[in-house]
Structure 1
Amino acid sequence: MIQLGLIGKGIQRTQVHQLHQALGELCGITVNYQLLDADQEPQLSLEQRVQRAIAEGYRGVNVTHPFKAEVSAMVKQRGAVPETLGSYNTLIFTDGNIRGENTDYSGFKAGFQRTFGPLEPGRVLLLGSGGVGRSIAFALGELSAREIFLYDTRPETALALAGVLQAAGYPCATVTGDNLTEVATQADGIVNATPIGMYQYPGIPLAKTAIQAPSWGFDAIYTPMNTEFMIAMDASGAQTMSGYELFLNQGVNAFEHFTGISLDRDAAIQFYLQKRSQSC
């Protein structure tokens, strides 16, 4: 048996434990996956949570909102992550070592290709420059996005990410509230990488009137899947990829990192979806 977990806040609606347990069943491994919700012990820091997981024999943990920005300080070994990305959401514990992986980055790339096939990202407006936004920005760069436009309610966060992306050779620029609508109406793709739309943070991160005729759209949120942003994207006629696709692909990647087992991605995802449909 292997012990895994998710560290985050307000995570009781997630399916991640069910996904990892199903993948374990597929591989003949018993997986005990715990939801380590900060709502239950708000006084603990991320470091305290991670150290307790190590002491209790966990193989590793996934980390989500609002702790992602703190993860890099705990990583002792960088995994299959671009050096300049500097962001992690998966920690693997081995012999006192903490290896960091970023399955938002790898999962978005895989999900984009599964969903859109040969479609090129084109000019992309990315809403949100921290946490998952940073990971998606690097993935878009590797997918040959023509230009990435970064918008964040904290302008300094967008500026910092723009500098890193430009240094890595990816064309990008920052956007302010003054020209956000103009950029949105001209974008080939629009990505929501903010928490706006989650059950805890209802709403939409961009005026619906700014979503006119993009080729594609993606919302990193999957609880719920029918966010206002996704509804507006569907209404515009754009092809869409939901956060559920990212969830599935990053989950497969995380399981591979935790176990060292290589999965047939399509077969693994189909196995989980079939099990879930049978349990509903």
Structure 2
Amino acid sequence: MSAAPSPVTLASPSPGLRAALIGAGIGASRTPRMHVEEGRALGLDYGYDLIDADQLMTRDIAALLDQAQADGLAGVNVTFPFKRAALDHVDSIAPSALAVGATNTVVFGPDGRVAHNTDYAGFAEGFRRDIGTQAQGCALLLGAGGAGGAVANALLDSGVRLLFVQDVDTAAAEALVTSITARLGAGRVRLAGDLRVAAAAADGIVNATPVGMAKLPGTPLDMALVEPRHWVADIVYFPLETAFLQQARAKGCHGIDGSGMAVFQAVLAFELFTGRKPDPARMRATFDSFT
């Protein structure tokens, strides 16, 4: 499998463009409306569908990608639980996805299936806008899956000097630590080990697990480990105010919800699918219009 050509070839804007989101339990996603309304604002005939593996009763990402491409889609966004697995079913991998080890955006075009990752830049932009003057020396990341890899790299490239990584899948956490160490050198990332020790050392705690989603309620760690001095961030956005954020804010923590990552990853994916630059403020307004 080769790296993607540079510059990345974008889908050509044309009438009847269609894209979709592939995931499991995604009925509450705000992504379709952001894409469709932005397409309408730019005068595009642009549709965006949901391909929900839970509704289709399948976890065969290869078959889902095959069908989406056969249906003539310009590309698909990919979410939980397929962000890593989808990399095995593309023709080339853009640097953004190669660095993270996962994809959330697959473009179908003249270069075949090209895997991108807009989660990295999406989280980084939302984090930059919302972190303010909070200390960023050390952070604890919960979750080393497809989204966790993007968030880990974004945190370390956005000011965090030391990152502790924890995942119930120890092998996934170890693989992420190894990957980041290869890219940034020793001393920037460690396995969390004892969460009490890692949380005590951290300035902030980030949830990059699916815990907190409507279908997976709860908190990703014992909230007794969260102190008022911590800033906390969550990538879950349905619900926007997760139990993790609610309980942390109640303690006085500075909180960052999943809206920034959700909006800015969609901004970048929209451009990859359509070849047109969207208006981030307009897409944010669409996101915020949900009740």
Q: Kindly tell me: are residues 65 and 149 of structure 1, through their superposed partners in 2, closer, same or farther at Cα, counting changes over 3 Å?
A: same
Distance in 2, Cα, partners of 1:273 & 1:10? 19
Q: What residue number does 1:245 align with?
A: 260
Distance in 2, Cα, partners of 1:86 & 1:183? 24
TM-score of the two chains, using structure 1 as the length reference: 0.91
Matched residue SS, 2:268: helix
Q: Does 1:224 align with 2:212?
A: no
1:190–1:214: 8 Å Cα contact kept in structure 2?
no
Structure with greater contact order relative to length (CA < 8 Å, sep ≥ 6): 2
Distance in 2, Cα, partners of 1:190 & 1:94? 39
Q: CA deviation at 1:116?
A: 2.4
How is 1:1-280 mapped onto 2 (pairs within 5 angstroms)? 1-43=16-58, 45-81=60-96, 83-95=98-110, 97-117=112-132, 121-169=136-184, 171-176=188-193, 179-270=194-285, 272-273=286-287, 276=289
2:134–2:231: 8 Å Cα contact kept in structure 1?
no
Q: CA deviation at 1:44?
A: 5.7
Identity %: 34
CA deviation string 1:176-212 (max 9, x = no partner): 2xx2022213311100011111111111111111000
1:20–1:33: 8 Å Cα contact kept in structure 2?
yes
Q: What residue number does 2:12 align with?
A: none
Q: CA deviation at 1:95?
A: 2.8
CA deviation string 1:58-80 (max 9, x = no partner): 00100111111201112322335
The code of the aligned residue for 2:96 comes to V
The code of the aligned residue for 2:107 comes to I
Q: CA deviation at 1:256?
A: 1.2
Q: CA deviation at 1:162?
A: 0.5
> Which structure 2 segments of 5+ residues have no match?
1-15
TM-score of the two chains, using structure 2 as the length reference: 0.88
Q: CA RMSD in A?
A: 1.9
1:20–1:255: 8 Å Cα contact kept in structure 2?
yes
1:10–1:38: 8 Å Cα contact kept in structure 2?
yes
2:142–2:148: 8 Å Cα contact kept in structure 1?
yes
